[in-house]
Structures are given as structure tokens and as C-alpha cells.
């Protein structure tokens, strides 16, 4: 038998059949391929994601702080001097209402002033003139007494005003929010307004006393003129001869 050699990939004819002999490819190892561009893209995406998370955390922290600040701004001032101020004003008002004889009333002034100060005329009797003069004197004395009482009240308010002012200034400086600071400022303004009211009341009382005294002096001059008219209406004194009885010596 003759030995034949065949080359790979050749077809051999055996009879009527064709036999194809396929080449044998040796097996090779599979290696992973590194994609640098894809890796860089993934790193950038991760960095952007972390930045977004960080921004969200910062935003939430700012919102939380804003809510805390709003809570502080809405917190009310624990100190209130309103009741003390109202009590002091009530005491001053009560003193003004206790004004003697001629009250702080337009109607009262018109009526009593007309009776005691402007109705002096020469046709009045000496008794009526004396009664009016006594009424005017009582009004002047009462006016000065009322002014002194009110002055004592205003001076007596100074210690409590000083204490309240110290507390309010301290509360304003230590306030935790806008509302507390505003409320402390409002109470300080209320205290100053009440002090101004005290000064106004004191000035009114002093002026009242001075006006009553000036009116008394003017009315007394009119009363003195009326009394002089009474005296001048009497007949003048006419001297007469007086007989002296003889003593017998």
C-alpha cells in the first residue's frame, strides 16, 4: 500500500464521497480589556453624586438652622412690666381725681370759678364777700396740697421705675430673638411714656395751684374794692361840740 500524505484543509475523494478535513485551532487564554475612558466617566459620575449629596446635606442643615432661628424670633419675652405700669398710672389718676374743691373738669371749673372768683361786686354784703374770700383761700390751699401729693407720688415711683428699667434692658440685651428684643423695647417705651405722663400730671397740678393763687389775689383785690365802696357809702363823720359838765369847783 502506498502511503499518502494529506494537508489540512484538503478534500480527499474516497469513492463518491468527499471528506473535508478542518484545521484544528489551538485554544488560547481570555484576558480582560481595560477601558480607561469608561473608568474616568464612572469616577466623574460618582464625584458628581457625592457633591449633590453634600449639597443636600448643607441645604437641610441651613433649613434646620433657619427653623431654629424662627423659633427664637417667635419666642415671647418672659418678663412683663405692664401690670406695674398700669397700677402706677391708676394711682396717679386716682390722685388727680381727688383734686379738692375745683376738679380737673371743664364744667367744674366754669361753675365754681364763676361763683367764687368772677362774681365779686360792690352790691354784695360783707358776709358774702368774706365767705367768697374764705372759699378762694381754701381752693388755693387745696391746690398746693394736691400738687405736693402728686409730687410725692412721682418721686415715689422712681425706685420702681429704676428697677423695671434695669430688668428690661437686661432682658433686651439677653434676648434670643427679634420678638423678645421688640417686646423689651416696647416695654421700655411704655415705661418712658408713663414717666412722661407723671411729669405732665405734676406740671398740671403745679400750674393749677399757681393759677388758683393768682386768681385768689385778683379776686381779693376786687373784694377789697367792694368793701371800700361799702365803707364810703356811710355819712362822713361830723364833729360836734361836747359840753363838759362843771365839777362845782
Q: What is d(CA 45, CA 193) in angstroms, rounded to the nearest whole number?
A: 66
DSSP 8-state symbol, 77: P
Q: Are 146 and 100 in contact (CB under 8 A)?
A: yes
Q: Kindly tell me if the per-residue pLDDT of 73 is higher than 80.
A: no
Question: For residue 223, what pLDDT is reported?
Answer: 85
The mean of the pLDDT values for the chain is: 79
User: Of 195, 200, 211, whose CA–CA distance to 157 is shortest?
Assistant: 195
Question: For residue 237, what pLDDT is reported?
Answer: 56
Q: pLDDT (tens digit, 9 = 90+) per residue, 230-245?
A: 777 765 556 667 666 6
Q: Cell numbers at residue 91, please? A: 394711682
Question: For residue 19, what pLDDT is reported?
Answer: 47
Torsion sign across C-alpha atoms 202, 204, 207, 213: negative
Provide the pLDDT confidence category of residue 205 given band limits of 50, 70 and 90: very high
Q: Kindly tell me if the per-residue pLDDT of 140 is higher than 90.
A: yes
Q: What average pLDDT does this structure show over 171-187?
A: 85
Q: Kindly tell me if the per-residue pLDDT of 56 is higher than 90.
A: no
Question: For residue 114, what pLDDT is reported?
Answer: 85
Q: What average pLDDT does this structure show over 166-192?
A: 87
Q: Kindly tell me if the per-residue pLDDT of 6 is higher than 50.
A: no
**Angle, CA 237 vertex, CA 231 and CA 238 arms, to 5°:** 160
Provide the pLDDT confidence category of residue 127 given band limits of 50, 70 and 90: confident
Provide the pLDDT confidence category of residue 208 given band limits of 50, 70 and 90: very high
Q: Cell numbers at residue 222, please? A: 376786687
Provide the pLDDT confidence category of residue 211 given band limits of 50, 70 and 90: very high
- Span of 36-40, 174-178, 243-247 with lowest mean pLDDT: 243-247
Q: Are 113 and 102 in contact (CB under 8 A)?
A: yes
Q: What percent of the chain has pLDDT over 70?
A: 78
Q: Kindly tell me if the per-residue pLDDT of 29 is higher than 70.
A: no
Q: What is d(CA 91, CA 81) in angstroms, rounded to the nearest whole number?
A: 16
Q: pLDDT (tens digit, 9 = 90+) per residue, 191-204?
A: 999 999 999 999 99
Question: For residue 24, what pLDDT is reported?
Answer: 54
Q: What is d(CA 85, CA 198) in angstroms, rounded to the nearest whole number?
A: 11
Provide the pLDDT confidence category of residue 214 given band limits of 50, 70 and 90: very high
Amino acid at each position: 500500500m502506498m502511503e499518502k500524505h494529506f494537508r489540512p484543509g484538503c478534500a480527499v475523494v474516497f469513492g463518491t464521497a468527499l471528506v473535508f478535513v478542518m484545521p484544528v485551532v489551538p485554544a488560547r487564554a481570555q484576558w480582560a480589556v481595560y477601558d480607561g475612558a469608561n473608568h474616568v466617566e464612572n469616577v466623574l459620575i460618582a464625584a458628581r453624586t457625592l457633591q449633590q449629596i453634600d449639597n443636600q446635606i448643607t441645604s437641610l442643615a441651613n433649613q434646620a438652622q433657619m427653623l431654629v432661628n424662627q423659633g427664637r424670633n417667635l419666642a415671647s419675652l418672659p418678663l412683663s412690666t405692664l401690670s406695674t405700669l398700669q397700677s402706677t398710672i391708676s394711682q396717679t389718676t386716682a390722685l388727680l381725681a381727688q383734686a379738692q374743691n375745683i376738679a380737673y373738669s371743664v364744667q367744674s371749673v366754669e361753675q365754681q370759678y364763676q361763683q367764687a372768683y368772677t362774681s365779686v361786686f360792690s352790691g354784695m354784703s360783707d358776709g358774702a364777700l368774706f365767705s367768697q374770700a374764705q372759699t378762694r383761700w381754701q381752693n388755693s390751699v387745696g391746690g398746693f396740697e394736691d400738687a405736693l401729693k402728686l409730687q410725692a407720688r412721682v418721686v415715689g415711683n422712681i425706685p420702681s421705675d429704676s428697677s423695671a428699667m434695669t430688668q428690661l434692658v437686661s432682658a433686651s440685651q439677653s434676648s434670643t430673638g427679634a420678638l423678645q428684643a421688640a417686646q423689651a423695647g416696647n416695654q421700655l417705651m411704655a415705661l418712658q411714656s408713663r414717666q412722661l405722663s407723671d411729669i405732665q400730671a405734676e406740671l398740671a397740678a403745679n400750674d393749677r395751684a399757681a393759677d388758683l393763687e393768682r386768681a385768689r389775689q385778683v379776686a381779693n383785690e376786687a373784694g377789697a374794692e367792694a368793701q371800700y365802696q361799702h365803707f364810703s357809702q356811710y355819712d362822713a363823720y361830723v364833729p360836734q361840740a361836747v359840753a363838759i359838765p362843771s365839777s362845782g369847783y
